[in-house]
Structures are given as structure tokens and as C-alpha cells.
Amino acid sequence: MNLQSPYFIGIMSGTSTDGVDAALVKINEHDATPAKLIATSSLDIPMSLREAILNLNQSGPDELRLAAEVSLELGKLYADATQNILLENSLLADDINALGIHGQTVRHRPERGYSIQLNAPALVAELTGIDVVSDFRSRDIAAGGQGAPLIPAFHHAMFRDHHKARALLNIGGISNLSLLHPQQATSGFDCGPGNMLLDYWCHKHLGQKFDKDGVWAASGAINESLLDFLTESESWFTLPPPKSTGRDLFNGQWLEEKLETFFKLHPTVDSYQGADIQATLVALTVKSIIDSLKKHAGDTEELIVFGGGAANPLIMKQLAAALDYPVLSSDTYGIGTQAMESMAFAWLAWAFRQRLATCTPDMTGARHASVAGSLHPA
């Protein structure tokens, strides 16, 4: 532990459950750009662990034991990612101020007062010898908030422009927006499914974890009637922000039930091509984002995109075609599309050290602002 060190490590494993991303970040609050990305490192999540995580998104037998065991396995993976980035940059544990680790969300029900992230912060602190800041959602939810999204405060510190309205779009398993306006408080909310349904459908039909470069979706045709049905039959899309969601709602079961209902309502359709459904799911992701921007951020002048979806040319092309302002990858600003979230959690660990209130009513709908995180000392 080195409380004087400006170096923090952020670790993120998102709802896509494909890997663990680590970011080494140097923070100087007095700089115009307070956080500088030094290095990144990634580890794949083993398939057996990924399947165990996905199974825990729904109730099942002996799930308390399984959740505990998966948390420990994730903790070891987080520790490995930390050790890798230390070795790759010739650093020691004492060179790092703290780790910011979000954990793996398996249940997100803020309306019921909880959000569950599988994590083992005490184990990570033990294995790495570095203080761990985790549990970033609970305090905000206790104050009546969504506990999400967590990173608009980081975006505010890094990207807010005094003359230009910007939006930052994360397309991970779920897509979410941070809205940065020169004259208004920074806000944020979830738009709907990002890659989650795309990955499910691709794995079911092709046995692949994801549709690389959107090639399979591009080979299909959008079913406009199905797109309208998916949008109009789901009441979540009509909720006003701030709002958040996850696998509790947008999962494989949701999609299968929607498809079954749609094809019962359209009996003349005897069959469908898997690629057409994939193309329609891409359109659903894009439509939920565009609708959110036009309804809640009509004066946006620039959209900065990151997360796995930013690597999908089909999604980026459709976003650019629907908007009359620049749609840019976060790479344009020197932050890799896969590094943004892990970098944000390094910054959130720093903000916790400073006792900065990074969750606010405009971002999460809470009754008051609060400091996000809890500490597990090394």
C-alpha cells in the first residue's frame, strides 16, 4: 500500500463475460485531463467459469455455494490480471495506491434495493498486497438510486467540454449513455441491450462467443415488423431515466419468448433465417440508443463510443447513418474501446480515496449524492 502513489489499477469484467480487462492509470487531479492511461492487460474468462457466471444469473440449486465459489475464482483471476500488469510494467505492489474492482454483476434489482456483484475483494487484497476498493453500487442504492451507471462522473472529469454537448456511449452487454452538457448537470442511464442478445443468438446458432465484426448480422436482413414488436412489447423502453437494466431482463429467455409470441402473431411466416434475427437484434441495439439520444439528448454535438460494440462496424455504421453529428470511437481520444471501463474504475478508486461523491441524483436518481465504494485493506 502506498497512499502517496498516483498509480491506480482498475479491473473490469462486464456483462458480456468474455474477459477481464485491467488498466494502469496515473492520476493527477490538477491536470486538465486528470487520468492518464499508462498500460492495459487482459485475460480471457475460462469457458467453464463463464458458464457458471451465466447460470448464476437465474435461480438454481445450491446457488449460494456456487456464487461463493465463482466469486473466489473471479478473485483469483482479478489477482492474476493485477500481477500481469505489474510484471509487464516492472512495478511492485507498493507502487500502486489501490485497485478498483467492479466485480461481475449477476442480479441487478435496484427497485428491490439490491445489486449483486460476484467478487472476492478480501482475497484479491491478500493475493496482491494492494488495497481494494469495490462494492460501488450499494451506497447509492441505499439512497434510493439505481446504483448505475457508475462512470458518468469519470466521463465528466475527462471529457466535459465547456462549449460542446457530448454523449459517451458504452456498448457492452447493456448499452448506456453519459450525457455531458456545458450548462447542465452530467447525467446517465441505460438504453437497453447492447451485445448481450447478439452474443446469445450467435452462440446458439454458430457456437461462437460473438459475431466478429458483425459479419453474420450483415449477411441477414432486418425484419422491421419484428423490430417494432421487440421495441413496442417491452415496457422497460418507455421508462424515463434515470434507469438501468441487465441480464435480469434482457436475456436468452426474454428473446426466445418474444420470438415465440411474434411468430404466433404472424402465422404466415413459416420459418426465419438466424442471420435475419441477428440483423434485427443489431437494429434493436441501435434503435434503443438512437431513441434515447433523440428523446433525452437532442442537442448532442458529438457521440464517443466505447465497449465491445464499438468494434462492430455494422453498429457504428448504423449509428453514424442515423445521427447528424460525429460518431467517434474512444480511440480518437487515446483511450482504447476496451480500456475505458477498467480505466474508469481506477479513477473511481481514486475518487473513493478522496471521498468524492461520484453518484448523484442526476446520474442515478438517488435522493442525494454519495461516495461509491468500500475498502478492503491489504
pLDDT at 1: 67
Q: In terms of domains, do 84 and 19 share one?
A: yes
Q: In terms of domains, do 211 and 291 share one?
A: yes
Q: Is 100 annotated as a binding residue?
A: no
Q: In terms of domains, do 148 and 217 share one?
A: no
β-strands 98-101, 7-12 pairing: parallel
pLDDT at 119: 98
Residue 103: pLDDT over 60: yes
- Could you tell me which residues come within 8 angstroms of residue 55 by beta carbon, excluding any fewer than 6 positions away? 66
Q: In terms of domains, do 202 and 67 share one?
A: no
Q: In terms of domains, do 71 and 131 share one?
A: yes
Q: Note whether residue 293 is domain-resident.
A: yes
Q: Are 130 and 11 in contact (CB under 8 A)?
A: no
Residue 270: pLDDT over 70: no
Q: Is 14 annotated as a binding residue?
A: yes
User: pTM of the predicted model, to two decimals?
Assistant: 0.94
Q: What is the pLDDT of residues 143-191, one digit of tens each?
A: 999 999 999 999 999 999 999 999 999 999 999 999 999 999 999 999 9
The total number of structural domains in the chain stands at 2
Q: Note whether residue 197 is domain-resident.
A: yes
Q: Is 215 annotated as a binding residue?
A: no
Q: Cα angle at 282 between 240 and 217, to 5 degrees?
A: 175
Q: Note whether residue 327 is domain-resident.
A: no
Q: Is 186 annotated as a binding residue?
A: no
Q: Is 16 annotated as a binding residue?
A: yes
User: How far apart are alpha carbons 81 and 122 in whole angstroms?
Assistant: 16
Q: State which of 282, 300, 318 marks the end of a domain.
A: 300
Q: Note whether residue 317 is domain-resident.
A: no
CATH of the domain at 201: 3.30.420.40
Q: Is 268 annotated as a binding residue?
A: no
Q: Is 187 annotated as a binding residue?
A: no
Give the residue numbers spanning the domain of 180: 165-300
Q: What is the pLDDT of residues 313-354, one digit of tens each?
A: 999 999 999 999 999 999 999 999 999 999 999 999 999 999
Q: Is 113 annotated as a binding residue?
A: no
Q: In terms of domains, do 140 and 97 share one?
A: yes
Q: Note whether residue 306 is domain-resident.
A: no
pLDDT at 108: 94
Q: Note whether residue 145 is domain-resident.
A: yes
Q: Cα angle at 19 between 132 and 150, to 5 degrees?
A: 50
Residue 269: pLDDT over 70: no
Nearest to 275 by CA among 170, 336, 198, 373: 198
Q: In terms of domains, do 175 and 147 share one?
A: no
Q: Note whether residue 321 is domain-resident.
A: no
Q: Note whether residue 313 is domain-resident.
A: no
